[in-house]
Amino acid sequence: MEVVDAALGAGLKDLGENRVEALEARTEAFQGRGIRWHMVGHLQSRKAGRAAAVSTLIHSVDSLRLAERLDRSAGELGRPVPILVQVNTAAEEAKSGLDRERAMEELATIVAMEGLQVQGLMTMAPFTDDEGVLRDTFRRLRELHEGALQDIPGYVGRELSMGMSNDFVIAVEEGSTMVRLGTALFGERPV
């Protein structure tokens, strides 16, 4: 909890958590402090409703199944759920996200869900120092976003959440509007 106090002391108001349980605990502990809580980690469908109840924005909607579950949660909550759709632009087997080859079609399906507010897209680059690989990963998401703005009715996303502590400079150069800087700001997470 000291980390959150330090972030608030530095003027940060957008904070993220990787786990639903931690997100719930922190939103309760820091209620009324003006924090916009982001769910940035992988989200299991069975925990989707819990995340929707306490998040300002869910960054990691990585499948139609999860989007459908969040759409139902929106009905239960009586309000739309703001999300970013995660796309696996690097085509890495170990990464979550919509397959980049089917992303436009699946994104159109998600945008049509009445309970969701698709505010943009998210991706995670491979953990590498290869600037070319990083740029390609981020550029693909930006291009997908630009194509969606033209070709998907109702898509009005403004956010590109891409870039983490090790690659955020390149992500910003490639069009990121939102970066996730946990390690750079707070150090390694304790195990």
Over residues 36-79, the pLDDT tens digits come to 999 999 999 999 999 999 999 999 999 999 999 999 999 999 99
Instruction: Please choose, from the candidates 124, 52, 121, 112, the residue with its C-alpha nearest in 3D space to the C-alpha of residue 85.
Output: 121
189 pLDDT exceeds 70? no
Over residues 15-42, the pLDDT tens digits come to 888 899 999 999 998 888 888 999 999 9
Q: Which domains does the chain have, with CATH numbers?
A: 2-184 (3.20.20.10)
d(CA 47, CA 65): 13
Over residues 153-169, the pLDDT tens digits come to 999 999 999 988 778 88
